Structure 1
Amino acid sequence: MAWVDNRLADLTSQVTPVSSTLLWVPPVAFGTTVRRATHINDDREENYKINTWLQRQGIMFYKVTRDLELICPPSLEKYPFDDYKCSIELHGYGGVVFPLREPSKYYKAQPVQVDMTRVTSQFELTGLKLSSRVAPLNQHTAATEYTGCVIFGADCIYPANDCPLMKGCSEESDECYGCKHFVGTCSYMSDTDRCSNTSSGLSTLEVQLSFSRRRWSHVFRTFVPSVVIVGCSWMSFWLHPSDISARVKLCVTAILALITMAGNRMRHGVTAVRAQDVWLYGGVITVTLALFETVAVNSILRGNSLVLYFCKSRRAQVAPTPGPSTSWAEDEETEETSSSGPVANRIDFFSRILFPVGFTVFVVGFLLYYLG
């Protein structure tokens, strides 16, 4: 960071190193995401290491190194399709600014370097934004909303998916060195002149990290097995309606499997309704409807449905009065069984079409909502 002290102007004709213990340092404070800031002590460095420099105009440059512990809890409503951003802010007061500049052939240092070989997480680092800005202290809006005074900005893309696989590699190879000092593909902007009238305000240095969850493991562990389980439950529509035992066992087994997959969330104490929960319980509802269809078809086959009861009552109005013989009752039972069979088969036929179509509509709507 840097600041101007007019009292120190013209004391030197060039950049002069000065011990920081001899000069004042303006106050700085980290943002709310920084949980702890620890000073880094390197025993290999000498105690009189210089970290302050003075220019002829009275401009002071001060370099500090801190180890930060951050807390950036992601939102789980879209898990496992969630992407989130974590911002690190450093605020300076009393005329402090954070001078950054674009790399060039004379100045090759990048603003942010990341050791991608040490990134081992369910998330992958996909981008980084860097912003150094100044806002007046009387500005009623947040500094992030004040766009007229951005000293420096950088927007980097991090397509480095293979670097985490190179953990512990030697920097002797160019590929390993590039992963340990990865900077991405960056675009820069600078507008220092527009911030000259706010040099005594609130300065902010912000680093925003963009993360995307690694999804392929969830696809093969959750979504593909659940689709297979739901699809297997539709095999009950191809069995004969009288095979009630086999059809019920097939549907109940599928329901229990999906409930078991959905119940694993309780191990981690998750209380939010996630996208994965919506998916699994959507499959549970689909299989439950298939179980109800099995019960309804078997009920129709046995002549216990309301439709057949209504038809039976209509036929009873025109039926002849039965005699003492019981042969007419046996013929009526045979007639009811033969008439309910086609109805049950017709319901199974339409279920073979409607259930896959309905589940496909659910899948499309789910993907459009959570990935759109």
Structure 2
Amino acid sequence: MHWQDPRMIFEHIPGEKTFKNRTILTFDLKSLEKLWIPVLDVFFSNEKSARHHDIISENKRLRIDSAGVIYYEIRLSTLLTCHMKFQHFPMDVQTCGLMIESFAYDIEDLQFEWLDDGINLRQIELPQHKMEGLSLQQCNCERGSFSCVEAKFYLSRQMGYYILQVYIPTTLIVMLSWISFWISINVTPARVSLGITTVLTITSQRSALTQSLPVVSYVMSIDIWERSLSSYFIHVKVCSNDLSIKMSICMAYVFAAVVEYAIANFNNKPEIDRLSRRAFPLSFMLVTLTYYVYFTICASEIPELQKQITHVLGQNGVENISEIQKLRTI
């Protein structure tokens, strides 16, 4: 942070370091005791915990330029709260903020403002998220008329892990269940075993996935995916079994009375399987397409965030204040 103190103005000193065409001097940390520093009145309103870095010495720096501008830097590590929404998980976009407020001085005595280059995101890499951008803005202080600034970070989740560990395996299991349509309806044990195996497999997959998911009281997009797959397995299993039982009952009760009933029932079974061979893959593709279109476009939060983001990250994470329309669409 920096501020200007007219008492610190001094003449240009030839041979010294310059910053913005002004002489700038670096002072010992003991000089901090002789200066008024507004940072002593600063706190992070959404902080859970924080600590200073003091190895090998305190990580602080004090510089003053010839125009009386004081540059004070301090290294802190903070753990901040972030209210996340997981309705679209794992295709969600999260907004996390860093809120800085004045504790004792009201807005008439002390005001905070962000610099254009106040935050550097070039070296930030996250394993599960991609930094889409940030916005620097003023915020409202709930305690009264105190100065408050906020940096909002917009994070989109990386889908690679969930594609490899959830979507591809469950899709393959669904496709495996379709094999029963090419098995004769008279081979009841094979069809029942295949149906039960696919149900147990997806249930096991669901149990393993639940342990790593956030605990929330609402339905997430991945829940809809898992439930829709389960319904596909149940339909495959129940439809095959019901047809076998129904046709067996029909054959048992009406075979002796009406031969043509038995022939009609026998001819209907293959037609249902042939229909299922096309209907299930096509309907599954339609459901999958609808699922992805809804949660990646219609339900995406990026269009709304485009109105707020002021700093867009370009290639290699380099901060680029450019046209918002160039923001990557998830």
Output the TM-score relative to the length of structure 2. Answer: 0.68
Q: Partners of 2:154 and 2:78 in 1: how far apart? A: 18
Among 43, 66, 79, the residue aligned to 2:76: 66
| Change beyond 3 A, Cα 1:283–1:54 | same
1:131 to 2:136 alignment: yes
1:251 aligns to what SS in structure 2?
helix
1:340 aligned to which of 260, 265, 290: 265
**Structure-2 separation of matches of 1:10 and 1:279:** 64
- The structural deviation recorded for 1:113 is 4.7
1:82 to 92, 96, 99: 92
Name the CA shift for 1:286/1:113 in 2 (closer, same or farther; >3 Å).
closer
Question: Structure 2 unaligned runs (5+)?
Answer: 13-23, 298-330
Taking a change above 3 Å as real, the CA distance of residues 294 and 101 of structure 1, as seen in their structure-2 partners, is closer
Deviation at 1:207, TM superposition (A): 3.0
Where do 1:122-161 residues align within 5 Å? 122-124=128-130, 126-131=131-136, 133=138, 142=140
Correspondent of 1:95 among 104, 110, 120: 110
Contact kept? 1:230, 1:254, Cα under 8 Å: yes
Letter in 2 for 1:97: F
Q: Which residue of 1 aligns with 2:151?
A: 207
**Partner in structure 2 of residue 41 of structure 1:** 54
The Cα of 1:249 is off from its aligned counterpart by 1.0
Cα distance change of structure 1 residues 259 and 131 upon mapping to structure 2, 3 Å threshold: same
Aligned match of 1:173: none
Match of 2:314 in 1: none
Residues 287 and 339 of structure 1, relative CA distance in 2, 3 Å threshold = same
Q: Find the aligned partners of 1:45 and 1:10 in 2 and give their Cα distance.
A: 24
Indicate if the aligned counterparts of 1:303 and 1:340 stay in contact, CA closer than 8 A.
no
Where does residue 20 of structure 1 map in the other structure?
Answer: 32
Determine if the alignment matches structure 1 residue 240 to structure 2 residue 184.
yes
State the SS of the aligned residue for 1:235: helix
Shift of 1:336: 3.5
Alignment partner, residue 242 of structure 2: 296
Superimposed CA distance per residue, residues 34-54 of structure 1 (whole angstroms, 9 cap, x where no aligned partner): 3223223243579xx862648
SS at match of 1:97: coil
- 2:227 aligns to what SS in structure 1? helix
Q: Give the gaps of 5 or more residues in structure 1.
A: 103-109, 136-141, 144-200, 313-328
Q: Using the aligned pairs only, state the percent identity.
A: 20
1:166-177 paired onto structure 2 within 5 Å: none
Query: What's the offset of the Cα at 1:229?
Result: 1.2
For 2:116 and 2:170, the matched residues in 1 are separated by: 52
**Alignment pair present for 1:369 and 2:294:** yes
Over aligned residues, Cα RMSD in angstroms? 3.5
Deviations 1:194-215 (A, max 9, x none): xxxxxxx754443333322221
1:117-176 deviation per Cα after TM superposition (whole angstroms, max 9, x unaligned)? xx352223x33325265x8xxxxxx38xxxxxxxxxxxxxxxxxxxxxxxxxxxxxxxxx
Q: CA deviation at 1:100?
A: 2.6
- After superposition, the Cα gap between the structure-2 partners of 1:95 and 1:268, relative to the gap in structure 1 and judged at 3 Å, is same
> 1:262, 1:277 within 8 Å by CA — same for their partners in 2?
no
Among candidates 106, 117, 127, match of residue 121 of structure 1: 127
Distance in 2 between the 1:334 and 1:236 partners?
A: 28
Q: In the alignment, is residue 285 of structure 1 matched against residue 212 of structure 2?
A: no
- Whichever residue aligns with residue 366 of structure 1, its letter is Y
SS at match of 1:233: helix
In 1, distance between residues paired with 2:114 and 2:152? Answer: 17
Could you give the per-residue CA deviations for residues 215-273 of structure 1, whole angstroms, max 9, x where no partner exists? 12221221112111111212222222211111111111111111111111343474333
The one-letter amino acid of 1:21's match is E
Q: Alpha-carbon deviation of 1:301? A: 2.5
For the 8 Å contact 1:132–1:203, the answer to whether it is kept is: no
The CA distance in 2 between the partners of 1:359 and 1:95, in whole Å, is 60
1:10–1:243 distance in 2 versus 1, CA, 3 Å: closer
Secondary structure of 1:51's counterpart equals: strand
Would you say 1:31 and 2:45 are equivalent positions?
A: yes
Alignment check: 8 A CA contact 1:16 1:53 kept: yes
Is 2:278 the partner of 1:353? yes
Verify the 8 A CA contact 2:95 2:155 in the aligned structure 1. yes
In the other structure, the counterpart of 1:229 is 173
Structure 2 counterpart SS, 1:302: helix
Structure index of larger Rg:
1
Paired amino acid for 1:127:
E
